[in-house]
Amino acid sequence: MPLHPLSFLQPRPVQPHLPLFVFFPGMDGTGKLFEKQIDGLATRFDIRCLAIASDDRTNWSELVDRSMQLIATELSEGRELYLCGESFGACLAMQVAGRLRTKIDRLVLINPASSFGRFPLLASGSALSGLLPDIMYPLSARILVNFLIAADRVARPEQQSLIDAMLSVQPQTAAWRLNLLRQFPVNSIVPELVDIPVVLIAGVLDRLLPSLLEVQILARLLPKSKTTLLPSSGHACLLERDIQLVDLL
């Protein structure tokens, strides 16, 4: 299977005098769902959003290596580096952070999907998703939106953007990425992060993943972590009207 290169989206003009902020997106891989957060963050950071092709089905090792190559092209000597991952992207960010270690000033994990490896029921459900016929995929994606967001907290345009992003991913690719989550080696990754300052953010009303429990577990394992709980937020909390990531940092 040919490799499809990852790329960085550069949502605002380059600001080389500011810390580099790299966002790792969720399962859709588009990076486009981060738009709502960019204006606030751009006052303090030079932002890049990782974009993964909709047909990209490479393993964790390749994704980590290619992500690190992109970061190396942007990171000058002595420049501060923030890595931020949401859900699936949090798992990728954790692995990249484990490789970079001392070069990272802050790792931010939002509703991390690292819980897949801890809860067998979630993992078995991901295996079943690969059995869905293609004709059922658009319907299942729309149903899944109800578990991703607290609908009264996400405006209509953002809801539609979420649906569009989900449908942009091929069904076989979605099944592949779920399988990656099932294989995510959380127990071997976490010890590599103990010396990195980590911000853990969880939507308490997440109905897709046990994010509250997961950040509580990670907080016990990561001595330099700080936890922020969003009591009224769901899984896709960065799409919500009242959530500004720059304020949480």
CATH number of the domain encompassing residue 185: 3.40.50.1820
Domain of 222? 7-248
Contacts of 217 (CB under 8 A, 6+ apart): 118
Confidence (pLDDT) at 136: 44
CA triple 202-207-209, angle to 5 deg: 60
In angstroms, the CA 229 to CA 200 distance is 8
Question: How large is the average pLDDT for residues 73-83?
Answer: 92
Report CA torsion sign: 226, 231, 236, 241: negative
Q: Work out how many domains the chain is built from and give that number.
A: 1
1 belongs to a structural domain: no
- 108 beta partners: 84, 199
Question: How large is the average pLDDT for residues 235-239?
Answer: 95
Say yes or no to pLDDT of 138 above 80. Answer: no
Count of C-beta atoms within a 10 Å radius of residue 233: 26
Helices 60-74, 88-100: inter-axial angle, 10-degree rounding: 60
List the single range of 74-78, 123-127, 229-233, 239-243 with lowest mean pLDDT. 123-127
Q: Which residue has the tokens 């000033």?
A: 105
Question: How large is the average pLDDT for residues 189-217?
Answer: 95
Count of C-beta atoms within a 10 Å radius of residue 145: 16
2 belongs to a structural domain: no
pLDDT in tens, 170-197: 888 888 898 899 889 899 999 999 999 9
pTM: 0.91
